[in-house]
Structure 1
Amino acid sequence: MKTHPAKRVEITIEEIMETRLTTALLKADVTGFTVLPVKGGSGRSGHWTRAGQVGRAGGMVSVVCIVRPDRLDTLLEAAFAVVEPHIGVVSVTDCEVLRAERF
C-alpha cells in the first residue's frame, strides 16, 4: 500500500490555553487536530499529576496535528506564538499517511 510523507506535531500546553491554541491553528488553516487530556508527567518543574485538581487551571492537554511537510512552518509559527510565553512543549516527528488528500 502506498504511503505519503507527513509531519506529526504534538503540542502539550496548559489546558486553559487550549482554545487560544486551537483558534490560532484554525487561523493558520490547520483544519485537523486531536486534543487529548494529559494525566500527569515530569519536567523542569518536577513531577505533577492531574489528580485532585479542581477546574481547568493546572491541567495540561496535548494537541496532535498531522500536516503535509509544506504546511509545517505555518503550523509551527501559529503554535509558537501561543506556547512561547507559557508552559508547553512542541515536538515534530516524521510520519507516513495513507490518504494524503486528507491532509
Structure 2
Amino acid sequence: MNAVTLYPLKKLEIILEGAHREFATDLLDRAGVKGYTIVGNLSGKGSHGLYEGHLMFNEDDVLIMIIAAVPAELVDPLLEGFQPFFEAHSGVVFVSDIQVGRLVKFRD
C-alpha cells in the first residue's frame, strides 16, 4: 500500500455577519486564496450572549463561517486585512494547523 503524502497548510475559520460576506470573500480572492467553503445559519454563544442561527428576513441577518485552507505565508496578510474590519464589527478568525493530501487544490 502506498503512503499518503500530507502537506502542511493553515485553516482559517472566519465567523461574521452574512451582510459582510462579500467583504470577506473579496479579501480572500484578492489575496490569492484558491477556494473556500461558506457555512450559513450559525448558532453559538459569544461575548454578546446566545445567538440563534435561523433565517429572519434574508441571509444577511445570520452569522456565517468561511473556511479556507491557505499557505502559511498568506495568514499574516489576511489577518492584517481583517483586523480593521473586526475592530468595527463583530466576528472572529480562528487559525489552525492542518494537513492536506492534494496540495494542488490550495497552491499554485
State the TM-score bracket (shorter-chain normalisation).
Answer: 0.7 to 0.9
Contact 2:44-2:52 within 8 A present in 1 as well: yes
TM-score, L = length of structure 1: 0.87
Match of 2:105 in 1: 102
Structure 1 Cα separation of the partners of residues 92 and 70 of structure 2: 18
- Once the two structures are superposed, residues 22-44 of structure 1 have per-residue CA deviations (whole angstroms, 9 ceiling, x without a partner) of 01111111221111113311111
1:18: which partner in 2? Answer: 21
- % identity of equivalent residues: 28
| Partners of 2:9 and 2:69 within 8 A in 1 | yes
Q: Which residue of the partner structure matches residue 34 of structure 1?
A: 37
Give 1:11's aligned amino acid.
Answer: I
- Equivalent in 75, 78, 89 of residue 78 of structure 2: 75
Aligned Cα RMSD in Å?
Answer: 1.7
Give yes or no for contact 2:19–2:60 (8 Å, CA) kept in 1.
Answer: yes
State the partner residue of 1:66: 69
How many residues are matched?
103
Structure number with larger C-alpha Rg = 2
CA contact (8 A) 1:15 1:56 kept: yes
Which segments of 5 or more consecutive residues in structure 1 lack a partner in the other structure? none
TM-score, normalised relative to structure 2: 0.84
| More RCO (CA 8 Å, sep 6+) | 1
Closer, same or farther in 2 for the Cα pair 1:55/1:76, shift >3 Å?
A: same
Q: Which has the larger helix fraction?
A: 2
Structure 2 unaligned residues grouped into runs of 5+: none
